Amino acid sequence: MSQACYSGKGALKSAFFHVSENVFVIGESVLKRSILSAGAIMVTLHALTDHARQLVLSPNRSMDGKGNLYVLLAASVVLLILATGMALNGAWLVLPFAGIEIVALGTAMRLTLRKLDFREVITVQNGVLRLERGRDTPDFNLTFPQQSVRFLVDGPDRPMGLPLIDLVALGHCYRLGEFLNRADRFKLARVLKEQLNLQVSKYNTFQRTCF
């Protein structure tokens, strides 16, 4: 199973990751998996160079495109067998409806996979922090001086609630990892503080306006 992640412009523009077991390939060079991989690669930290780290957040995805294709093929075979049997008994009108069901199922699976291709990427390099969001390529890209960035963690207000994590910079804040589950949000906060050595504070430390 492989999964692609993107990086930003400049020095990291050409970095394109292929995950295969415990090895990351960047161009023609190979780096072993660096620090953390949680669940189905929902929170992953990569070492790009000695002075660059990249944190990739992604939704939980239990199967890749090939696995979903197998499910679609299996469902299609079952539907066609049932529809063919009914058609041979005179109920031939079920055949076009079976085809419609297969197309609808394939479309729904494709849209779901497309939604799960979303990534949030935080890249730290040479005193600069870059936040990117998007699918195949970033459609949201902001760059901040690393020293001006804080991460605000708003703990859950009830048992088993979800903590909220915001990137705070230049008078605004940007919500991170809204698609992550409870455990992975706590892991995200820990990685930001312990692995990336970024400033992480609890709620009420900053005045925030999130968008």
Cα–Cα distance, 166 to 178 (Å, whole number): 10
CATH 2.30.29, the chain: domain bounds: 32-59+119-202
Q: Tell me the per-residue pLDDT of 187-197, one tens digit each, with 9 for 90 and over.
A: 998 898 888 88
**The predicted structure's pLDDT at residue 79:** 92
Residue 122 CB neighbours (<10 A): 23
Of the candidates 5, 19, 2, 27, the residue with the CA atom closest to the CA atom of residue 135: 5
Q: Phi then psi for 167, rounded to 5 degrees?
A: -90, 120
In the CATH hierarchy, which fold is given to the domain comprising 32-59+119-202?
PH-domain like (2.30.29)
Q: Tell me the per-residue pLDDT of 158-171, one tens digit each, with 9 for 90 and over.
A: 888 888 988 988 88
Query: How much is the pTM?
Result: 0.65
**The predicted structure's pLDDT at residue 42:** 86
Which one has a higher pLDDT value, 181 or 31?
181
**The predicted structure's pLDDT at residue 70:** 92
**The predicted structure's pLDDT at residue 57:** 92
Of the candidates 135, 113, 114, the residue with the CA atom closest to the CA atom of residue 4: 135
